Amino acid sequence: MADLTKKYDVLVVGGGNAALCAAISARRAGASVLVLEAATKFYRGGNTRHTRNMRCAHDAATKELTGPYTEEEFFDDLLRVTGGNTDEPLARHMIHESKAMLGWIAEQGVRFQPSLGGTLSLGRTNSFFLGGGRAMLNALYRTAEALGVAVEYEAEVADLDIVDGMFLSATAKRGNGERATIRAGALVAACGGFESNIEWMKQYWGAPADNFLVRGTPHNRGTVLKLLLDKGVGEIGDPTQCHAVAIDARAPKYDGGIITRLDCVVFGIVVNKHAQRFYDEGEDVWPKRYAIWGRLVAGQPDQIGYIIFDASSLTLFMPSLFPPIKAATIAELAAALGLDPAALTDTVAKFNAAVRPGTFDHTVLDDCRTEGITPAKSHWARRIEAAPFYAYPVRPGITFTYLGTRVNKDARMLMKDGRPSANMFAAGEIMAGNVLGRGYAAGIGMTIGSVFGRIAGREAAANARN
């Protein structure tokens, strides 16, 4: 157990990628470091446990990456997904620093592997962790502890003593209900967004938030974020913005992870509880569109949707943890889903009648499309006619929120009046809104955490020693 009575140079709140990168970096810069993680040891590491890859700029192919991905191309991708809603100097700084990250992360014991099949075509841009996010985290924890970083689990920070932009101490609630007050020379807040706090989500989404599923940890409740904003730290990001995808409606409320995501929208049609289609399922290639379906389903009655497809598509995508619901006819499928059989039969018949002949190729924007139907299906439209028929129920799965603390290039928090905080830094999801005003590019969550975590740790260590 860590000594919570001593004053540390750097206190890191959180136990995921951003926190561990900060802790290692601060320790390597000579600081004494304490990490407070709300979760138990087994569940340590927040949403990072579920990750598979990170996006870093690189000038040439590597052992694992199939080609170059320049800083300019990375920035162009970021501009496109955010619609320009990013802090350009900060984003460019992050992208530049990302070039060194693959090497730095590997130095901390993390191993990479070539991208897996069926993973959104990321073989050139994104480096995959050998063994996934958990293996990545285990390596970071091993390194941190070997360097002498103290880690305390079941220590949820519930209060912060901050005077005029200066951090003095944190109060942690322990697993046994006790409270401990910990003093440190500098604070790194790396404790995620507030997506697990459904009550807070409801302030922006209303009652529909009750039907949201949280893809990751139940511990990212935004307690520290709220304390920081209440105590004068500047706010960044639109509180309604978050990364949300369509996931299997049978997933658990929290921590369903990657195996409940459904990538089969493009192979069928998606209907709501009235058995009506509501959006173009073939608008663009899936990597560019997968992150809009969470919001689309959130906008439907009771926040539920159903992906309907036939036997010809069953083996074309990565399956969910749960088997699809199967029936011999569309009417029987509707009955199994609790939908009106006549309405679903009619929707499928109208869709089938609108499908124009084409050459199906799900790897490109093919010419299989509908005509004379609203909404259209612009690509990959094939008649749903080969029994048996299948369906997956889907709900919005929230990955993380974008409201955060404002920071500068040193990952130092900026107060509401624009002044830099005396000794408070932030990294990861808690400050992702500085770079991601909206939208998402696969793998950038880990880039934000690693790059700003490393910077925050270094700067916090320098700050604490001065």
Ligand X SMILES: Cc1cc2nc3c(=O)[nH]c(=O)nc-3n(C[C@H](O)[C@H](O)[C@H](O)COP(=O)(O)OP(=O)(O)OC[C@H]3O[C@@H](n4cnc5c(N)ncnc54)[C@H](O)[C@@H]3O)c2cc1C
Q: How many residues bind ligand X (CB under 6 A)?
A: 43
Based on the shown chain and the rule CB under 6 A, indicate whether residue 277 belongs to the binding site for ligand X: no
Measured from the Cβ of residue 413, the count of other Cβ atoms closer than 10 Å reads: 30
Based on the shown chain and the rule CB under 6 A, indicate whether residue 320 belongs to the binding site for ligand X: no
Distance, CA of 392 to CA of 60 (rounded, Å): 40
Measured from the Cβ of residue 171, the count of other Cβ atoms closer than 10 Å reads: 15
* Minimum distance of ligand X from residue 166's CB (angstroms): 20
What's the Cα-to-Cα distance from 154 to each of 11, 15, 65, 173, rounded to whole Å? 15, 11, 38, 8
Question: Which of 235, 258, 273 is closest to 416 using CA atoms?
Answer: 235
Based on the shown chain and the rule CB under 6 A, indicate whether residue 18 belongs to the binding site for ligand X: yes
Of the residues 17, 86, 401, 421, which one makes contact with ligand X according to CB under 6 A:
17
Contacts with ligand X, 239-258, as mask; x by CB under 6 A: ------------------xx
What DSSP letter does each residue of 352-396 carry, written as one string? HHHBPP----TTS--S--B-S-SS---SS-----SSSEEEEEEEE
Contacts with ligand X, 135-174, as mask; x by CB under 6 A: ---------------------xx-----------------
Distance, CA of 237 to CA of 431 (rounded, Å): 9
What DSSP letter does each residue of 256-294 carry, written as one string? --GGGB---GGGSEEE-TTS-B-S-TTSS-HHHHGGGHH
Based on the shown chain and the rule CB under 6 A, indicate whether residue 108 belongs to the binding site for ligand X: no
| Contact criterion met (CB below 8 Å) for 19 and 38 | no
Based on the shown chain and the rule CB under 6 A, indicate whether residue 195 belongs to the binding site for ligand X: no
Nearer to ligand X, 291 or 348 (CB): 291
DSSP one-letter code for 192:
-
Based on the shown chain and the rule CB under 6 A, indicate whether residue 433 belongs to the binding site for ligand X: no
Of the residues 10, 14, 436, 438, which one makes contact with ligand X according to CB under 6 A:
14
Of the residues 2, 11, 38, 460, which one makes contact with ligand X according to CB under 6 A:
38
Question: Which of 420, 459, 465 is closest to 26 using CA atoms?
Answer: 459
Nearer to ligand X, 14 or 165 (CB): 14
Of the residues 392, 400, 402, 425, which one makes contact with ligand X according to CB under 6 A:
400
Binding residues for ligand X, rule: CB under 6 A, are 13-19, 36-39, 45-48, 50-54, 156-157, 190-192, 215-217, 219-220, 223-224, 257-258, 399-400, 428-429, 443-446, 449
